[in-house]
Structure 1
């Protein structure tokens, strides 16, 4: 099969010239006990992929990238339940073991075993199965490695969906929708008549806008430096949109002394600081973006106890994928979550490196990939 493999991080831009990802021919792996082989139909390019390439997220190399995708099951290993050959599935970038401290407390997105496997480039039920043609180990990206024609994943890394859901739409529910919607619904627990500001209008930020717009009486402000993303946010349900320098005025005009919730989907410590300054007393900042590890957040320590403001970390939107993906898809069916607006275009995987530049420059929201020959 063909797989997009990263062998060196911190590659210089433009990526179209430096080509950090190489399309390699690798053997199709066999699923072991507890694992499933999926034919990838659509995979999406996400900033988390870019974060591995630019060094913001340190991962073991070489690694086959890609973590947001949909596909069709073509083989199952022993002891796999609830999924059979031919099933349509959405892949999920945190497999939950169901037994660790986080899973037992109802927070599968923070699964300890899943995080350990993701960090080491392995799968939940065993070491990596991807190999080069010479036998060299290739690490898995977040238990998925979706920039490939096929992927072996743990059963816990997929959710079965109805076959009438278009697989290009379904792909975006595995990361962007889970993370953005969950940040508003689960992490912030936005309630009726509250106000929210969303910084960063990529796919995750726009999904957060969609979710916030569904809350009765909400006031939704969307912020991004790019005018085309501001316009897209208005289509997604935002009531007001503007550039970062307009944020204080928009909050003053439409949220009084501050917003109840700020969603930071940029991955910037300075933006997080700005968000804290836009909160009303008792407001919550939900941090969704992935800043570079060297970035530090510096705020007055008295800010939290003195004003009751809260800083909430949100990973995968505090989602339970088995519960939330079907529920979010139903909201899409009902016309309440226009996830299709996130889909910029579809390209062949051979254009992956040029697409990294387009994502970094904000030219695309969600570019989907398929294969010209399967």
Structure 2
């Protein structure tokens, strides 16, 4: 790698060998490979060599044509990597310290401006000019936009969290989507209350659901998780929850993490309870809503989509701390080389797929 003189407010980074990325060009087509021999870093940008990326459900839905996405596109937004170059203004980690070359990091799925009305209100994930890793069409000066690549170009406005060297990459990569989203969901359900002794019900034992189970159980909640899969129910109990095959309740906090049990989740909330909807990130049939019942039970029904930088930092801290007691290191069931990203996504799409399939560019 060679750093050239600044040009138009940017540092030009020559990469030898060139970075490579797998580009999705449309539903039903195999990924194509592009070489990226150089990156133009803005003042607050960072370049990361990716250690491991995991395949999220949204990647699967995009490739299958179930959600719209702009092509050509570098998919992947659950990654861990190491900083190899920084913009000339310096880049700060989430804790306010200066990042250094060689730091091992995870980063937010969103790039936010920090100044618009939504950012000022704390809704940084809904920034007026938001950009999302693994969701943006590639273009000049920003080709390394997703995790299915050897490198990622992180733009100013990205939350970057320094993470421990000793923690497995398979634990850290999903932090930037599943774990941080689960943290946001539990936090929204708690609404500032202590979770000790509270009844928490989680629908869906996917990785978001299991992460929510562990986070709530670790805080002292009595957690039940509902999932139709006996295999996933058995795994869920290792994350601190009591597993059930069918609807149960009532509960103080209900987290719907599957996208398939919204009506059940709302029905299971106790008087004064909170139903947190986090799994409905794909088109589905509308459900009937009994407004009188919601009023009489004094329910709070809230949605969580993505997360804030604080959520990511807290989720990473949990994984590095008390979260080590839970089997997050076992969620990745298969690892593929970057060249076989289509096989990795196919494996993640299988009916009996592990919670996560990983892509290793190294």
Sort the TM-score into its range (normalised by shorter chain): 0.7 to 0.9
Query: Equivalent residue for 1:14?
Result: none
| 1:188 Cα deviation after fit | 4.0
Query: Equivalent residue for 1:343?
Result: 332
Query: Equivalent residue for 2:171?
Result: 169
C-alpha change, 1:303 and 1:108, in structure 2 (3 Å) is same
Query: Equivalent residue for 1:135?
Result: none
User: RMSD of aligned C-alpha atoms?
Assistant: 2.7
Whether 1:8 and 2:26 are equivalent positions in the alignment is yes
2: CA distance between counterparts of 1:277 and 1:237?
Answer: 24
Query: Equivalent residue for 1:136?
Result: none
Q: Which has the higher strand share?
A: 2
Whether 1:59 and 2:69 are equivalent positions in the alignment is yes
- After superposition, the C-alpha distances for 1:211-234 in whole angstroms (9 at most, x for unaligned) are 111132x22111222211111100
Query: Equivalent residue for 1:260?
Result: 252
| 1:303 Cα deviation after fit | 3.1
How high is the TM-score relative to the length of structure 1?
0.80
Structure 2 unaligned regions, length at least 5: 1-18, 92-97
Whether 1:199 and 2:200 are equivalent positions in the alignment is no
Q: Is contact 2:52-2:80 (8 Å) kept?
A: yes
Structure 1 unaligned regions, length at least 5: 12-19, 132-139
2: CA distance between counterparts of 1:119 and 1:49?
Answer: 8
Residue aligned with 2:287, SS: coil
Query: Equivalent residue for 1:359?
Result: 348
Q: Is contact 1:59-1:119 (8 Å) kept?
A: no
Q: Is contact 2:344-2:359 (8 Å) kept?
A: no
2: CA distance between counterparts of 1:163 and 1:129?
Answer: 30
2: CA distance between counterparts of 1:358 and 1:305?
Answer: 44
Q: Is contact 2:184-2:311 (8 Å) kept?
A: no
C-alpha change, 1:159 and 1:312, in structure 2 (3 Å) is same
Equivalent position to 1:227, from 210, 226, 230:
230
Q: Is contact 2:133-2:146 (8 Å) kept?
A: no
Q: Which has the higher helix share?
A: 1
Q: Is contact 1:264-1:285 (8 Å) kept?
A: yes
Equivalent position to 1:308, from 285, 298, 310:
298
| 1:2 Cα deviation after fit | 3.1
Residue aligned with 2:111, SS: coil
Whether 1:288 and 2:278 are equivalent positions in the alignment is yes
How high is the TM-score relative to the length of structure 2?
0.82
- After superposition, the C-alpha distances for 1:260-280 in whole angstroms (9 at most, x for unaligned) are 122111123xx1012112221
Bigger mean CA offset, 356-365 vs 38-47: 356-365
Residue aligned with 1:40, SS: strand
Describe how 1:130-169 pairs up with structure 2 within 5 A. 130=142, 144-157=145-158, 158-169=160-171
C-alpha change, 1:110 and 1:128, in structure 2 (3 Å) is farther
Residue aligned with 1:178, SS: helix
Q: Is contact 2:189-2:275 (8 Å) kept?
A: no
Whether 1:238 and 2:241 are equivalent positions in the alignment is yes
Q: Is contact 1:344-1:367 (8 Å) kept?
A: yes
C-alpha change, 1:266 and 1:120, in structure 2 (3 Å) is closer
C-alpha change, 1:85 and 1:39, in structure 2 (3 Å) is same
C-alpha change, 1:227 and 1:80, in structure 2 (3 Å) is same
- After superposition, the C-alpha distances for 1:71-119 in whole angstroms (9 at most, x for unaligned) are 111222332322232121112201232222233233433333225x669
C-alpha change, 1:295 and 1:29, in structure 2 (3 Å) is farther
Q: Is contact 1:107-1:320 (8 Å) kept?
A: no
Residue aligned with 2:318, SS: helix
Equivalenced residue count is 333
